[in-house]
Amino acid sequence: TNRTFTMIKPDAVSAGNTGAIIKLIEEAGFKIVALKKTQLSPERAGQFYAVHKERSFYQELCTYMSSGFIVPMILEKNNAVEDFRKLIGATDPKKAEPGTIRNLFAKSIEANAIHGSDSDENAAIEGSFFFSQLEQF
């Protein structure tokens, strides 16, 4: 069994979709290892998305990601990273498969409801961005 990292993004938290999204995640067989509600400063959002700093949408993305509460989580399941990316669907909700979390809840390519790590290595780095080692039991 292994782990991935996710966060419910400001658009979905402010729309009151946190509970519905967590229900879909649990129904898909993921166990919640760690969970909190918090808010990023623009600087910390910039650190989290540093891999995108050369992209045209980077400033906008940092402003959006720091605009409200987020719910970061560490999740556990066999094949966690790949299965979770399938559960959330494509980055652009117009391209996300029916029934995926982004298809159901995303507002736009930017305000797309939820994040999912893209590798085991990044899952560990991103989990440790929000949770201490003691919180990752």
Give the residue from 72, 51, 76 showing the smallest Cα distance to 61: 51
Closest CB 100 distance from ligand GTP, rounded Å: 11
Q: Quick one: 84 or 131, whose CB is closer to ligand GTP?
A: 84
φ and ψ at residue 4, rounded to 5 degrees: -135, 170
Binding-site residues, in ranges, read: 9, 57, 85, 91, 102, 112
Q: Which residues bind ligand GTP (CB under 6 A)?
A: 52, 57, 60-61, 91, 109-110, 112, 115-116, 118
For residue 33, what are its two tokens? Answer: 């290892």
Q: Is 52 a catalytic residue?
A: no
- As a whole number of angstroms, the distance between CA 103 and CA 101 comes to 5
Q: In the beta sheet, which residues pair with residue 68?
A: none
Q: How far is the CB of 20 from ligand GTP (least distance, A)?
A: 18
Residue list for the binding site for ATP: 9, 57, 85, 91, 102, 112
- Sequence-distant (6+) residues with CB within 8 A of 106 are 11, 12, 93, 96, 112, 113, 114
For ligand GTP, the closer CB: 37 or 137: 37
Choice between 20 and 90, CB closer to ligand GTP: 90
CA-to-CA distance for 77 and 58, rounded, in angstroms?
Answer: 31
In the complex, minimum distance from the CB of residue 117 to ligand GTP, in angstroms, rounded to a whole number: 7
Catalytic residues: 115
